Structure 1
Amino acid sequence: MPQLIATVATLLLLLASVLVVHFARREAAEIRRSTSAETQAMREEARDLHSEAQRREERVAQREKDLAGDQRASQKFQRALDERATVVARDERRLADQRSSLEHREREALAAVAGLTAAEARERLVAEQVQAAKDAAMSEVRRIERSTRETAQQRAREVLVQAMQRQTGEAVTETSTTWIDLPSEEMKGRIIGREGRNIRAFESLTGVNVMVEDGVNAVQLSSFDVERREIAEVTLRDLIEDGRIQPQRVEAAYARAVDDVDQRHLDAGLDAIESAGVRGISQELVSTLGRLRLRTSYGQNVLSHLVESARIAADIAREIGADVELARRSAFLHDIGKAFSHDRDGTHAAIGAQLAREHGESGEVVNAIAAHHDEVPQQTLEAVIVQIADAVSASRPGARREDSDGYVERMESLEHLVAEHAGVVKVVAMAAGREVRVVVEPDIVDDAGTRDLARTIAEHISKDFSFAGEIKVTVIRELRADAVAG
């Protein structure tokens, strides 16, 4: 029995081995078939790639042949161009030689006809050409200047007229007196007081003369010191309102008027700022501006002038596209230095610029203040606008008036300045200095030079003479010949 089992087990092992070998052979055959198919596919793909590579090599070879042909054609064309350039250069040299020969013969012929050497003929020809060019250039310059001046003047008139027509101003007169209306005739007696003690106390405290006239229901305060006169006016109005006038009350009212000076300055400055439309002014500058309410320039109130200049500058800046607020602010502050011009050294423009710089104003504003009388160059368009607005406000009819001594001195200074130019024989300032007639020596200044001299004099006046508005310069050249028949 055990032997049978062993035999069966051996047979089973052999059968299993046979089955394993059979399946292994089947799997190997399957692998060989699959590998053979893949190998065949790879061989076909390799043949395709080889064919494509051969085709590309053929195309590259053809392109190289075409390129070589193009290069040969290009070289041939370049050789043709070089040959043509050589021919052209040879022709140009031949033509240049011919032109030079013709010019030389022409110069010799001209010299023979005119009796001049070739060098002299050449110099004369060059001189004639230069003079013709100068005449043509001068004519063109005059035409351009005339056209530019007409266009600029027309546009400037439009801008200034539009700016000025928006402003209204009163004619001013400089005065040293102030009239105060009284509520009744009985108030005159109170102001005078018993045996004149009230009026004497008032005049002693204020330094102002009080004049009471019969038949006039008002009193007059007279003083050349505008600050004293303003304090006296405030004092007297306070007393008139209270009704009780005596030396002690005069002293009390005067003390209140003196104490309120700074507040009145501040109020006047604030009113001016509001009227001009300016914002952000420091309180110190506001008080300084308020002091200008008591200052005048040729009879024109300085604070009113600043307000008017600010409005004009803003209108001009708006018309030409400049910075409106910068122009308004700069024009409003341009004369602020006049509040200290009698206390500090320097011009009011320099003092005002320093004051503005100390109180944090921008560099553009400082420059506009310093440059509005050409003491320093203008750095911005707004600085030029400030100068124009200042001149417009000062030169409008009724804005200012001059005393006779100042007027004569200004006319003499203008005439002396113009007379410094060479060739000037006589100078006459006319129309209150708005026009200057200049007579020149005809042997020194020719016709063309009169225009140059007029322009030079105008530039000299603009640079070295302070004036408002415009000054017209007219140069007159007259040649007279006299003969006596015997």
Structure 2
Amino acid sequence: MIASTDELHVVSFDESMYNIRFHLNNKLNLVIKAYKMHWSIFTIIGALIGLLGGALLAKLFAIRSLTSLGEIPVKENMDAILKSAEAQRNMILEEALLATREQYQADANRLESERELVFGMQESFEQELNEKQSEVDKLANEIDKKEENSNIKKLELEKTREELIAKEQQNIEMQKSLLNHLENKIGRNKSELYHDMREELINSEKLGITRWLMENQEALKVDAQKFARNSLNSVYLRYQPSFIWPKSSFIVQVNSKELLQKHFHEESQIITSLITNTDSSISVLTINDELPSMLKISGGAGVDKEVIRLTLEEMIAKEIFNEDKIRPIFDKYKRNIDRHILKIGEEAIKHLDITPNIHPEILKLIGSLNYRTSHRQNQYHHSIEVARLAGMIAEEVGVSSIIAKRAGILHDIGKALDYKIEGSHAVISGDYATRFGETEEVVDTVLAHHDDKIVETPYAYILKAADAMSGARPGARVDMEEGYHRRIDGISGVVNSFQEFGVTGSAIMHAGREVHVFVDNNKVKQKDISGLAEGIAKKLESEVEFPGQIRVTVIRRTEITEVA
């Protein structure tokens, strides 16, 4: 049981009173002992002083007497001297004793006064102690009464709690009984009823929302188109490109046909040495006998083609055709180009004010796009332009321009790798962006710009718009009508050549970048679709010239129509 605060105060007061009594008694005993000891001490001291003083005075008196007698014989006056000394001693002793008695009486009176004072203080303390004891007793009685009342209240509360628990249990039982009665009456349990009510409420809200959308759809569409038109017009007015877009050329002129025949024939070890560890190839272009011939570098990475071009130009200019001397030249330009692509990648990020920093490997891919074209458009400058346009559009619609610019500069980095990795360049871009720490929001936006992932976010639409604006800007791309028709006809011819294998038709989309092939489900089985798509893709690669990639999708479906 825990003691109350009042009880602790009583105990503390009792201890204090006990300590006061103990100290008073000790002091009083000390005073009485000192009073008793004083008489003995003073008596002894007085006696010693008297004896010593008497002896000393007797000696002095004897010496004085002898001196005064002169020639009187000592023996005759001895009795007189001794009597005189004895009288002097007794007189001194009586004086010493008298002085001692007076001192003792004074000390005794002082001690008696102190004793009376101590006894008076003891009576005062005892009176105060008795008063405090009365208060303590009164307080203890009150505490006992409060404790008794507290116990009574506790019992009452316990009884009330038990009654409440019993009533709560009765309520629960009553609720269960009423719920069972209600479920039996309506024929459904609580969960089913809740589900039905929820579905009814949701359907009601859906119907209301659908009705509101139908009523306001046209107005919303008009407002959205007006807002989009105003935003794009504002971007067009603000955007002023200040750079000249270079177009990479991987052609090296050779003025001497003898040089071509001697060093650049089909089995040339020089060509083999240059294209080792690359996916590029070198071929000889001869237009006619009067014009100089050219070496065309094709295939592989744009960076590798640029290194090979620079190496060939230095070889031909300095007439270096020794294989041992060619390799150091190639390695020199390879190092220079690697440093250059990292530098221009960093410049692009700095120019666009994109934060936080992008991984160095991604910066190299961005720089590599300077040697990659699509429809003769430099993809490095295209990516910078898309990023700037995306940032402007984001500012117009009120979302983060940093995220939009980041997705814009990364959206085509896959084009620096699509020569060796199969798949859409958007998928390759998203994969490398994920690999080097880009956020899911940026990666999804990159994947969505060619619908490789369906993402309904503002950034996805912003990137699509910015990409289209950059590609459609007058002068941005060179794609002559004749070449376009030749490519479309070539794709159609390849697809139609598979009619004997069940192909019934095709749809060419995105300027020849995607082909949907339809097949007869009676002739083509489900397990044969993959092989058919692969065969069409390989034939397109071998017979049709096209930039980038072509996605081939084979569609096999069953349609049944009935007329009532």
Per the shorter chain, which TM-score range? 0.3 to 0.5
Higher relative contact order (CA 8 A, sep 6+): 1
Query: What TM-score do you get using the length of structure 1 for normalisation?
Result: 0.45
Query: What TM-score do you get using the length of structure 2 for normalisation?
Result: 0.40
